[in-house]
Amino acid sequence: MSEWNETIVKNIGKVITGKTPSINNPEHWGDKTLFITPTDFRTESKYIFKTDRYLSEEGVDKFKKNVIPPESVIVTCIGSDMGKVAINRFEATTNQQINSLIVSSNYDTDFIYYKLKSIYKMLRLFADGGSIMPIINKSTIDLLRRQNETLEAIAQALFKRWFVEFEFPDENGLPYKSSGGKMVSSELGEIPAGWRVIELSELVETITKGTTPTTLGKKFVDKGINFIKAESITSNHTFDKNKFAHIDEQTDQLLNRSKIQQGDFLYTIAGTIGRFAVVTERVLPANTNQAIAIIRLKKNLNISPYQLLCYLKSHFYQTYLRSRIVQAVQANLSLGELKNTPIILAENSVQSKFSKIAKSLFNKIEKNEKLIGLLVQTRDILLPKLMSGQIRVK
């Protein structure tokens, strides 16, 4: 195989930015030549064969400097669709949201296409403006983290208002308890009529825990399936991927009982007890050890793992937790105690409304976490190159 060389896009071919003819010149529009815009990137198809609009022969002549030949690599560079890549099958023009690369005969067009497609996330981060943050610095990352703290505080305040103070909106939109809503006695004190106290075990499909691979004679590996440990879960109820270990697929199969699924609730039950987080696709595939309980809620319930997260953060539960921890050489909480945790279950309409709001808030938190991870990763790639002079900021 010949030697691989690093280069920059402008050395691979000619880059052309498109231009949109004015609607005041209808003679420039017709049915002769493709006019490509971001909306023509409708699917994951490699090629663009047809477009919503076309230029006339007169339009092509007017914008001949912007015409690209067949088999050019085209990239959306502005707006919410930026970073998408395709190849035009026929001669075409584009609007100004697209940059096109007429690939030199010294390079393979297909290779350039797949390379640009593989760095989609990086292309979006290098964007100038639009809906993606172009500046990769500490203040941007801190801003996202503060936003997440605010979003979680909103969810927690709403949970307290509805499930602790019982001031959820009644059928008239008024605060339930202070508007005279009926309350009934329970083992946890007064609760709204129609609500009940149950054990966590009634809500779950599974509560289990994992195993350390070394007890099975298996070793950790440098890359592979994520292996989540207690230290991998932060006090902010997110995952620190830098503290994941890794196992191979064979070990993951041996630990089939503790394979983690999206939406699972992970809860530390040994060592640092009481840290918890909801599993998102960002950390999958994954497995875990015996220091973490896997709580998998039943699918047919109007309760989300995010409501459980808010409940476990509440003052009531934290007090309950402290009374159940077994103090030994290493403090621990048994799966049995976890299953017996009392939960106040609201009527379906209240459960459903809260879960919908909580899901929206925590989905935004997850999107921010993804962006933070991408920003940190990109910063860590670029910073050494900036320091060494390999790349320069103009």
Please check the confidence at residue 13 and state whether its pLDDT lies above 70. Answer: yes
| pLDDT of res. 193 | 92
Query: For 273-317, what is each residue's pLDDT tens digit?
Result: 888 888 988 899 999 999 999 999 888 777 777 788 888 877 777
Split at pLDDT 50, 70, 90, the class of 33 is very high
Please check the confidence at residue 325 and state whether its pLDDT lies above 90. Answer: no
Q: Which amino acid is at 95?
A: N
User: Would you call 256 helix, strand, or coil by DSSP?
Assistant: helix
Give me the chain's average pLDDT, please: 83
Q: How many Å apart are CA 287 and CA 339, to the nearest integer?
A: 21
| pLDDT of res. 134 | 41
Q: How many Å apart are CA 304 and CA 327, to the nearest integer?
A: 31
Query: For 333-359, what is each residue's pLDDT tens digit?
Result: 888 888 888 888 888 888 888 888 888
Split at pLDDT 50, 70, 90, the class of 329 is very low
Q: 343 — alpha (psi -120 to 50), left (phi > 0) or beta?
A: beta
Please check the confidence at residue 158 and state whether its pLDDT lies above 50. Answer: yes
Query: For 211-238, what is each residue's pLDDT tens digit?
Result: 888 888 889 998 899 999 999 988 778 8
User: Would you call 205 helix, strand, or coil by DSSP?
Assistant: strand
Measured at the CA of 143, the angle between CA 139 and CA 149, to 5 degrees, comes to 145
Q: What is the mean pLDDT of residues 349-370?
A: 85
Please check the confidence at residue 73 and state whether its pLDDT lies above 70. Answer: yes
Please check the confidence at residue 383 and state whether its pLDDT lies above 70. Answer: no
Residue 133 tokens, joined: 């943050």
Q: Which domains does the chain have, with CATH numbers?
A: 9-125 (3.90.220.20), 143-371 (3.90.220.20)
Please check the confidence at residue 84 and state whether its pLDDT lies above 70. Answer: yes
Rg (CA), the chain: 28
Q: How far is CA 243 from CA 44, 123, 212, 258, 383, in A?
A: 34, 27, 15, 18, 22
| pLDDT of res. 282 | 85
Q: 379 — alpha (psi -120 to 50), left (phi > 0) or beta?
A: alpha
Q: How far is CA 311 from CA 174, 304, 345, 355, in A?
A: 23, 11, 11, 12
Of the candidate ranges 11-20, 216-225, 244-253, 370-379, the one whose mean pLDDT is the lowest: 370-379
Specify the residue for token string 């933070």: 372
| pLDDT of res. 129 | 40
Q: How many Å apart are CA 228 and CA 210, to the nearest integer?
A: 10
CB 373 within 8 A of CB 185: no
Q: How far is CA 351 from CA 24, 161, 171, 356, in A?
A: 55, 13, 14, 9
Please check the confidence at residue 326 and state whether its pLDDT lies above 70. Answer: no
Q: DSSP assignment, residue 48?
A: E
CB 208 within 8 A of CB 220: no
| pLDDT of res. 242 | 83
Q: What is the mean pLDDT of residues 120-124?
A: 63
Total length of the chain: 394
Q: How many CA atoms lie within 13 A of 62 on its CB side?
A: 15
Q: How many Å apart are CA 358 and CA 219, to the nearest integer?
A: 39
More confident residue, 34 or 320: 34
The number of beta carbons lying within 10 Å of the beta carbon of residue 384 is 10
Q: How far is CA 195 from the centre of its chain?
A: 34
The number of beta carbons lying within 10 Å of the beta carbon of residue 107 is 15
The number of beta carbons lying within 10 Å of the beta carbon of residue 121 is 14
Query: For 233-278, what is each residue's pLDDT tens digit?
Result: 887 788 888 889 999 999 999 999 999 999 898 999 887 888 888 8
Q: How many Å apart are CA 229 and CA 292, to the nearest integer?
A: 7
| pLDDT of res. 131 | 41
CB 88 within 8 A of CB 75: no
Residues forming beta bridges with residue 294, ordered by sequence position: 208, 266
> Nearest CA to 310 among 271, 361, 371?
361
Q: DSSP assignment, residue 243?
A: G
Split at pLDDT 50, 70, 90, the class of 390 is low
CB 103 within 8 A of CB 14: no
CB 309 within 8 A of CB 378: no
Please check the confidence at residue 35 and state whether its pLDDT lies above 90. Answer: yes
Please check the confidence at residue 369 and state whether its pLDDT lies above 50. Answer: yes
